[in-house]
Amino acid sequence: MVLIKTSSGMRFNTAACMALLTMQALFLFVPPGFVQLHNMLLRPAVYAVLVASIAVYIGPGLRPVRKASDYNMLAIASVIMLGIAFLAVSFLFGVGINIMTVNSAVVARNLWERGVIVILGGFIRYKLIKGAGYKDRVPLIVLLTVALSGHESGLRMLIQSEVIVWAVFFESIFRPLVISSVASYIAVGGSLLSVILISFVYKMVPYLMPVMPDVSAITWSQITAGTAFVAALIFRFAANEKKGRSLSREKRIINLTRNPTLDYAVSIVIICVILAFFAGLFPIYPAVVLTDSMAGAHDRGSMVFVERISPDAVYNSVGKMAVIHFVGHNRIEYIHRVIDFVYDIDGERQYITQGDASVSADPFPVPQSDVLGVVRMSLPYIGYPHIFFRAIAESLLR
């Protein structure tokens, strides 16, 4: 691997990142009629020029990186984890035909517009991070993570939309940023092939698999991004443990004292993600069954995981025998099963619900606007702490 001088090298690296960011910024203002031209010609050309410039300036040396086996195994393990997640979600929720693969021309176009960019971007990411000095590496990783995430299409759609479309945000911005972060992490110590492997597989799965799990785009984005993040997190802790075993107690304390920032940052991120999940900020959120009305399927004290459904998607997503989370006529939330449909005077579908342990249906139909989500799975007993503290809070408020 060829190292370049820090000053001139950082200027070159910064210029390359700025070129990528400038291209993303300009794309936000490209007229609709020129979007295809940008995706098919302009962006690949810019990436190709950057690859050629990097090969000339830094050198094409793609020699094996020393001690890269751990990072390479992380990339392979992460891909295996994604495959397991794919099979598990498909088993739980079923699969459907992927409309992105029904036409060979569409597949070829996605491979050109996205796949080629992922490969060229992997080379850019790898060479710039490897060629940077140690002190310049952190800001460079941040710039490359944003510049090579490929989120500009989603950002353009959000800017042009009058409301926040969460499906677009998670699929086109959140997921690419997480995958790009993991790819940059692997580029620090891994090989070029491992960087391209993690980027290509995670980004191109929705465009190449003939079938996809029968879940919403938001849910699938969370699954793929979460799998990549968890794999990197496991590797980080495993690497720390391995390093800790090789150090004496005194050296370990000194090491943690000198460089605690990354560990603190990872811990804060984990805590924030957990809090956000239980606060219901993710597309899949938890809810606790408070009564015995669903005994047998979801007993009292169970924690159910609900896939959030927008009012516009309820008609196609909720069928008979589905267990839904909804707001009842008295504005209290319930978890009951759909047993039938009725239609109001405006032709809007309303849902007849009933608890599995109840002898009669609920007295009021549930309009689509009051359906919060569909229950996907549950874990018994986990919700009892919530019930306990809820009872204490209610007794104090009386």
Q: pLDDT at position 67, please?
A: 64
Give mean pLDDT, residues 107-113.
89
Task: Pick the range with the lowest mean pLDDT from 111-115, 256-260, 307-311.
Answer: 256-260
CB 82 within 8 A of CB 227: yes
How distant, in Å, are the alpha carbons of 154, 169, 308, 347, 376 from that of 161? Answer: 11, 12, 21, 28, 30
Q: How many CB atoms within 10 Å of residue 55?
A: 14
Architecture field, domain 284-397: Ribbon (2.10)
Structure tokens at 60: 């094409």
Cα separation, 179 vs 225, in Å, equals 6
How distant, in Å, are the alpha carbons of 97, 104, 108, 208, 270 from that of 101? Answer: 8, 7, 9, 6, 35
In eight-state DSSP terms, residue 145 is: H
CB 123 within 8 A of CB 51: yes
Q: Is the pLDDT of residue 101 over 50?
A: yes
Cα separation, 350 vs 271, in Å, equals 39
Which of 383, 394, 360, 390 has the alpha carbon at shortest distance from 289? 383
Q: pLDDT at position 66, please?
A: 58
pLDDT digits (tens, 9 = 90+) for 236-269: 777 666 665 555 554 555 454 445 555 566 667 7
168 or 356: which leads in pLDDT: 356
Helix (H) or strand (E) holding 130: helix 116-131
DSSP line for 355-387: -TT-SS--SS-EEGGGEEEEEEEEESSTTHHHH
Cα separation, 176 vs 179, in Å, equals 5
Q: pLDDT at position 39, please?
A: 83
Task: Pick the range with the lowest mean pLDDT from 38-47, 243-252, 337-346.
Answer: 243-252
Structure tokens at 150: 């490929």
Q: pLDDT at position 2, please?
A: 41
Give mean pLDDT, residues 180-201.
89
84 or 248: which leads in pLDDT: 84
311 or 199: which leads in pLDDT: 199
Cα separation, 182 vs 105, in Å, equals 30
Domain boundaries, the chain: 6-228, 284-397
- 151: which residues sit within 8 A by CB, 6+ positions away? 24, 172, 173, 176, 177
100 or 272: which leads in pLDDT: 100
Structure tokens at 169: 């945000």
Q: pLDDT at position 3, please?
A: 43
Give mean pLDDT, residues 197-220.
86
Q: Per-residue b/e over 308-326, b at no fewer than 16 CB within 10 Å?
A: bbeeeebeebbeeebbbbb
SS (H, E, C) 246-270: CCCHHHHHHHHHHCCHHHHHHHHHH
pLDDT digits (tens, 9 = 90+) for 1-27: 444 444 556 677 888 888 888 888 888
pLDDT digits (tens, 9 = 90+) for 223-235: 888 888 888 888 8
Name the percent of the chain lying above pLDDT 70. 84
Name the percent of the chain lying above pLDDT 90. 12
DSSP line for 194-241: HHHHHHHHHHHHHHH-SEEESS-HHHHHHHHHHHHHHHHHHHHHHHHH
Structure tokens at 281: 């900020």
Q: How many CB atoms within 10 Å of residue 8?
A: 10
Q: pLDDT at position 59, please?
A: 65
* 341 HSE (CA, 13 A, CB side): 13
Mean pLDDT of the chain: 81
Q: pLDDT at position 330, please?
A: 84
Q: Is the pLDDT of residue 130 over 50?
A: yes
Which of 32-41, 149-158, 289-298 reaches the highest mean pLDDT? 289-298
Give mean pLDDT, residues 44-56.
88
Task: Pick the range with the lowest mean pLDDT from 103-107, 155-159, 219-223.
Answer: 155-159
pLDDT digits (tens, 9 = 90+) for 312-336: 888 888 888 999 999 988 888 999 9
